[in-house]
Protein backbone atom coordinates (compact mmCIF):
# COMPACT_ATOMS: atom_id res chain seq x y z
CA UNK A 1 0.00 0.00 0.00
CA UNK A 2 1.32 3.45 -0.97
CA UNK A 3 0.07 6.42 1.03
CA UNK A 4 0.67 10.18 1.03
CA UNK A 5 0.00 12.41 4.04
CA UNK A 6 -0.77 16.03 3.12
CA UNK A 7 -1.22 18.95 5.48
CA UNK A 8 0.37 22.25 6.46
CA UNK A 9 3.41 22.40 8.75
CA UNK A 10 2.28 21.24 12.20
CA UNK A 11 -0.67 19.17 10.92
CA UNK A 12 0.79 16.03 12.50
CA UNK A 13 2.21 14.29 9.42
CA UNK A 14 5.46 13.21 11.07
CA UNK A 15 3.78 12.18 14.33
CA UNK A 16 1.17 10.05 12.59
CA UNK A 17 3.58 8.62 10.00
CA UNK A 18 5.82 7.23 12.75
CA UNK A 19 2.82 5.37 14.21
CA UNK A 20 1.46 4.11 10.87
CA UNK A 21 4.90 2.94 9.81
CA UNK A 22 4.93 0.54 12.77
CA UNK A 23 1.32 -0.65 12.44
CA UNK A 24 1.19 -1.12 8.68
CA UNK A 25 4.82 -1.92 7.87
CA UNK A 26 5.02 1.03 5.46
CA UNK A 27 8.32 2.84 4.95
CA UNK A 28 8.04 6.40 6.27
CA UNK A 29 9.78 8.77 3.87
CA UNK A 30 10.02 12.37 5.06
CA UNK A 31 11.58 14.72 2.52
CA UNK A 32 12.15 17.26 5.31
CA UNK A 33 14.22 14.67 7.21
CA UNK A 34 16.05 13.71 4.02
CA UNK A 35 16.92 17.35 3.30
CA UNK A 36 18.03 17.98 6.89
CA UNK A 37 20.35 14.95 6.60
CA UNK A 38 21.83 16.45 3.40
CA UNK A 39 22.34 19.78 5.21
CA UNK A 40 24.01 18.03 8.17
CA UNK A 41 26.28 16.10 5.79
CA UNK A 42 27.25 19.30 3.95
CA UNK A 43 26.46 17.68 0.58
CA UNK A 44 25.86 19.62 -2.61
CA UNK A 45 22.07 19.29 -2.19
CA UNK A 46 22.39 20.35 1.44
CA UNK A 47 24.35 23.45 0.50
CA UNK A 48 21.74 24.41 -2.10
CA UNK A 49 18.81 23.74 0.24
CA UNK A 50 19.88 25.21 3.57
CA UNK A 51 19.20 28.93 3.04
CA UNK A 52 15.88 28.17 1.32
CA UNK A 53 14.73 25.96 4.19
CA UNK A 54 15.81 28.56 6.78
CA UNK A 55 13.60 31.11 5.01
CA UNK A 56 10.65 28.69 5.06
CA UNK A 57 10.39 28.48 1.27
CA UNK A 58 10.23 25.40 -0.94
CA UNK A 59 13.38 23.78 -2.32
CA UNK A 60 13.28 23.53 -6.17
CA UNK A 61 11.15 20.74 -7.63
CA UNK A 62 13.98 19.13 -9.64
CA UNK A 63 16.02 18.47 -6.46
CA UNK A 64 13.08 16.85 -4.67
CA UNK A 65 11.95 14.85 -7.67
CA UNK A 66 15.43 13.38 -8.15
CA UNK A 67 15.75 12.66 -4.42
CA UNK A 68 12.42 10.86 -4.09
CA UNK A 69 12.89 9.04 -7.41
CA UNK A 70 16.05 7.42 -6.05
CA UNK A 71 14.49 6.71 -2.67
CA UNK A 72 11.22 4.96 -3.58
CA UNK A 73 13.11 2.50 -5.77
CA UNK A 74 15.05 1.11 -2.82
CA UNK A 75 14.13 -2.34 -1.43
CA UNK A 76 12.85 -1.07 1.95
CA UNK A 77 10.07 0.84 0.16
CA UNK A 78 9.02 -2.05 -2.08
CA UNK A 79 6.21 -3.23 0.22
CA UNK A 80 4.73 0.24 0.43
CA UNK A 81 5.65 3.75 1.42
CA UNK A 82 4.19 6.53 3.45
CA UNK A 83 5.20 9.91 2.04
CA UNK A 84 5.40 12.82 4.48
CA UNK A 85 6.20 16.22 2.95
CA UNK A 86 6.20 15.11 -0.69
CA UNK A 87 4.68 16.04 -3.08
CA UNK A 88 4.37 19.72 -2.18
CA UNK A 89 3.64 21.11 -5.67
CA UNK A 90 1.53 19.92 -8.59
CA UNK A 91 4.74 19.49 -10.63
CA UNK A 92 6.05 17.09 -7.94
CA UNK A 93 2.74 15.19 -7.95
CA UNK A 94 2.85 14.80 -11.72
CA UNK A 95 6.46 13.57 -11.57
CA UNK A 96 5.47 11.05 -8.88
CA UNK A 97 2.61 9.76 -11.05
CA UNK A 98 5.04 9.23 -13.93
CA UNK A 99 7.56 7.43 -11.69
CA UNK A 100 4.93 5.13 -10.23
CA UNK A 101 3.41 4.35 -13.64
CA UNK A 102 6.90 3.39 -14.85
CA UNK A 103 7.17 0.91 -11.97
CA UNK A 104 3.59 -0.35 -12.35
CA UNK A 105 2.83 0.96 -8.87
CA UNK A 106 -0.07 3.10 -7.74
CA UNK A 107 -1.20 5.44 -5.00
CA UNK A 108 -3.78 3.91 -2.69
CA UNK A 109 -4.64 6.88 -0.49
CA UNK A 110 -3.77 10.55 -0.33
CA UNK A 111 -4.81 11.61 3.15
CA UNK A 112 -5.37 15.27 3.92
CA UNK A 113 -4.99 16.10 7.62
CA UNK A 114 -7.60 18.83 7.89
CA UNK A 115 -6.50 21.47 10.41
CA UNK A 116 -6.99 25.10 11.24
CA UNK A 117 -3.87 26.97 10.01
CA UNK A 118 -4.14 29.48 12.87
CA UNK A 119 -3.48 26.71 15.39
CA UNK A 120 -0.33 25.56 13.61
CA UNK A 121 1.96 28.30 14.92
CA UNK A 122 1.33 27.09 18.48
CA UNK A 123 1.88 23.47 17.49
CA UNK A 124 5.13 24.20 15.73
CA UNK A 125 6.49 26.58 18.37
CA UNK A 126 6.19 23.80 20.96
CA UNK A 127 7.79 21.11 18.80
CA UNK A 128 11.09 19.50 19.83
CA UNK A 129 12.73 16.15 19.29
CA UNK A 130 15.29 13.85 20.84
CA UNK A 131 18.79 14.62 19.57
CA UNK A 132 19.81 10.97 19.75
CA UNK A 133 16.84 8.96 18.39
CA UNK A 134 14.67 11.65 16.76
CA UNK A 135 11.50 10.89 18.76
CA UNK A 136 9.10 13.87 18.45
CA UNK A 137 7.51 15.77 21.35
CA UNK A 138 5.53 18.91 22.16
CA UNK A 139 5.85 21.26 25.15
CA UNK A 140 2.11 21.00 25.94
CA UNK A 141 0.58 18.27 23.76
CA UNK A 142 3.15 15.48 23.94
CA UNK A 143 5.49 15.86 26.89
CA UNK A 144 8.18 13.39 27.84
CA UNK A 145 7.04 11.07 30.67
CA UNK A 146 9.97 12.13 32.84
CA UNK A 147 10.86 15.82 32.40
CA UNK A 148 13.98 16.20 30.28
CA UNK A 149 14.35 12.48 29.48
CA UNK A 150 13.45 10.85 26.14
CA UNK A 151 10.73 8.16 26.53
CA UNK A 152 12.31 6.03 23.82
CA UNK A 153 16.07 6.09 24.41
CA UNK A 154 16.61 7.86 27.75
CA UNK A 155 18.72 10.63 26.23
CA UNK A 156 18.60 14.04 27.92
CA UNK A 157 19.51 16.10 24.84
CA UNK A 158 16.82 17.62 22.65
CA UNK A 159 16.76 19.84 19.56
CA UNK A 160 14.46 22.42 18.01
CA UNK A 161 14.41 23.17 14.29
CA UNK A 162 15.78 26.56 13.18
CA UNK A 163 12.76 26.99 10.85
CA UNK A 164 10.24 26.49 13.67
CA UNK A 165 10.40 30.19 14.67
CA UNK A 166 6.94 31.86 14.45
CA UNK A 167 7.87 34.25 11.59
CA UNK A 168 9.28 31.39 9.48
CA UNK A 169 6.25 29.24 10.26
CA UNK A 170 4.06 31.96 8.77
CA UNK A 171 6.08 31.87 5.52
CA UNK A 172 5.77 28.08 5.49
CA UNK A 173 1.99 28.28 5.97
CA UNK A 174 1.76 30.72 3.04
CA UNK A 175 3.85 28.36 0.90
CA UNK A 176 1.41 25.58 1.82
CA UNK A 177 -1.66 27.59 0.85
CA UNK A 178 -0.18 28.85 -2.44
CA UNK A 179 1.91 25.94 -3.66
CA UNK A 180 0.72 22.77 -1.88
CA UNK A 181 -3.05 23.20 -1.43
CA UNK A 182 -3.56 22.89 -5.24
CA UNK A 183 -2.66 19.21 -4.80
CA UNK A 184 -5.99 18.61 -3.11
CA UNK A 185 -8.19 19.13 -6.20
CA UNK A 186 -5.55 17.30 -8.27
CA UNK A 187 -5.89 14.16 -6.15
CA UNK A 188 -9.63 14.57 -5.57
CA UNK A 189 -10.11 14.39 -9.34
CA UNK A 190 -8.26 11.05 -9.32
CA UNK A 191 -10.52 9.65 -6.59
CA UNK A 192 -7.72 8.99 -4.09
CA UNK A 193 -8.19 11.92 -1.70
CA UNK A 194 -9.44 11.11 1.84
CA UNK A 195 -10.02 13.79 4.47
CA UNK A 196 -9.18 13.16 8.12
CA UNK A 197 -9.92 15.63 10.89
CA UNK A 198 -6.51 16.62 12.27
CA UNK A 199 -7.52 18.95 15.13
CA UNK A 200 -8.41 16.08 17.47
CA UNK A 201 -5.96 14.67 20.03
CA UNK A 202 -3.03 12.66 18.65
CA UNK A 203 -4.51 9.22 19.56
CA UNK A 204 -7.89 10.12 18.07
CA UNK A 205 -6.29 11.16 14.78
CA UNK A 206 -4.41 7.84 14.69
CA UNK A 207 -7.71 5.99 15.19
CA UNK A 208 -9.35 7.95 12.35
CA UNK A 209 -6.43 7.16 10.05
CA UNK A 210 -6.78 3.48 10.95
CA UNK A 211 -10.39 3.58 9.73
CA UNK A 212 -9.32 4.95 6.35
CA UNK A 213 -6.44 2.51 5.91
CA UNK A 214 -8.35 -0.56 7.12
CA UNK A 215 -7.19 -3.40 9.36
CA UNK A 216 -3.42 -3.78 9.52
P1 LIG B 1 4.18 17.96 10.68
O2 LIG B 1 5.09 16.78 10.41
O3 LIG B 1 2.88 17.87 9.93
O4 LIG B 1 4.86 19.29 10.46
P5 LIG B 1 4.37 17.11 13.50
O6 LIG B 1 3.88 15.71 13.45
O7 LIG B 1 5.82 17.34 13.66
O8 LIG B 1 3.79 17.94 12.22
O9 LIG B 1 3.57 17.87 14.67
C10 LIG B 1 3.90 19.22 15.04
C11 LIG B 1 3.89 19.36 16.57
O12 LIG B 1 2.54 19.23 17.05
C13 LIG B 1 4.70 18.28 17.30
O14 LIG B 1 5.32 18.86 18.43
C15 LIG B 1 3.65 17.23 17.71
O16 LIG B 1 4.01 16.58 18.93
C17 LIG B 1 2.40 18.09 17.90
N18 LIG B 1 1.17 17.41 17.45
C19 LIG B 1 1.02 16.55 16.40
N20 LIG B 1 -0.27 16.14 16.27
C21 LIG B 1 -0.97 16.78 17.26
C22 LIG B 1 -2.34 16.79 17.65
N23 LIG B 1 -3.27 16.03 17.02
N24 LIG B 1 -2.69 17.57 18.70
C25 LIG B 1 -1.76 18.32 19.36
N26 LIG B 1 -0.45 18.36 19.03
C27 LIG B 1 -0.04 17.60 17.99
P1 LIG C 1 6.85 20.51 7.94
O2 LIG C 1 6.15 19.21 7.69
O3 LIG C 1 6.98 20.84 9.38
O4 LIG C 1 6.29 21.62 7.11
P5 LIG C 1 9.22 19.41 6.61
O6 LIG C 1 10.15 18.81 7.58
O7 LIG C 1 8.36 18.51 5.81
O8 LIG C 1 8.34 20.48 7.38
O9 LIG C 1 10.01 20.34 5.58
C10 LIG C 1 10.96 21.30 6.03
C11 LIG C 1 11.43 22.15 4.83
O12 LIG C 1 12.08 21.31 3.86
C13 LIG C 1 10.31 22.85 4.06
O14 LIG C 1 9.94 24.09 4.65
C15 LIG C 1 10.97 23.03 2.68
O16 LIG C 1 11.90 24.11 2.69
C17 LIG C 1 11.78 21.74 2.53
N18 LIG C 1 11.00 20.68 1.85
C19 LIG C 1 10.64 19.47 2.38
N20 LIG C 1 9.95 18.74 1.47
C21 LIG C 1 9.88 19.49 0.34
C22 LIG C 1 9.29 19.33 -0.94
N23 LIG C 1 8.61 18.20 -1.25
N24 LIG C 1 9.42 20.33 -1.85
C25 LIG C 1 10.11 21.45 -1.55
N26 LIG C 1 10.68 21.69 -0.38
C27 LIG C 1 10.57 20.73 0.58
ZN1 LIG D 1 15.47 9.46 22.23
Q: How confident is the model at residue 215 (pLDDT cuts 50, 70, 90)?
A: confident
pLDDT tens by residue, 93-151: 999 999 999 999 999 999 999 999 999 999 999 999 999 999 999 999 999 999 999 99
Average pLDDT along the chain: 96
3 confidence band (pLDDT: 50, 70, 90): very high
Instruction: Identify whether 55 is a catalytic site residue.
Output: no
**How far away, in angstroms, is 151 Cα from ligand 1 center?**
17
Distance CA 171, CA 192 (A): 28
Using one digit for the tens of pLDDT, what is the confidence trace for 5-36? 999 999 999 999 999 999 999 999 999 999 99
Q: Per-residue pLDDT averaged across 170-177, rounded?
A: 97
Q: Choose the catalytic residue: 36, 88, 123, 208.
A: 88
Average pLDDT (174-185) is 98
Q: Judge if the beta carbon of residue 208 lies within 6 A of ligand 1.
A: no
Nearest residue (by CA) to ligand 1, atom 26, is 141
> pLDDT at residue 216 above 80?
no
Q: What is the mean pLDDT of residues 36-58?
A: 97
The percent of residues above 70 in pLDDT, for the chain, comes to: 100
Q: What is the DSSP string of 145-214?
A: SBTTB-TTT----EE--GGGSHHHHHHHHHHIIIIITTHHHHHHHTT-EEEEE-SS-HHHHHHHHHHHH-
Residue nearest to atom 23 of ligand 2 (CA): 86
Ligand nearest to the CA of 36: 2
pTM over 0.85? The answer is: yes
Beta strands in 22-173 (DSSP E): 27-30, 81-84, 109-114, 127-130, 136-138, 158-159
Let me know if 188 is a catalytic residue: no
Amino acid sequence: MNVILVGPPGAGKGTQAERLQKTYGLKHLSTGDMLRAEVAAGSQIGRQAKAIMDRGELVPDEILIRMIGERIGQPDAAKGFLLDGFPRTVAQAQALDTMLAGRKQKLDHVIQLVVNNDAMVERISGRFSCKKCGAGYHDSFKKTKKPGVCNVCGSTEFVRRPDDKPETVRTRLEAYDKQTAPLLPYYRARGVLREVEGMAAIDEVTAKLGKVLGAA
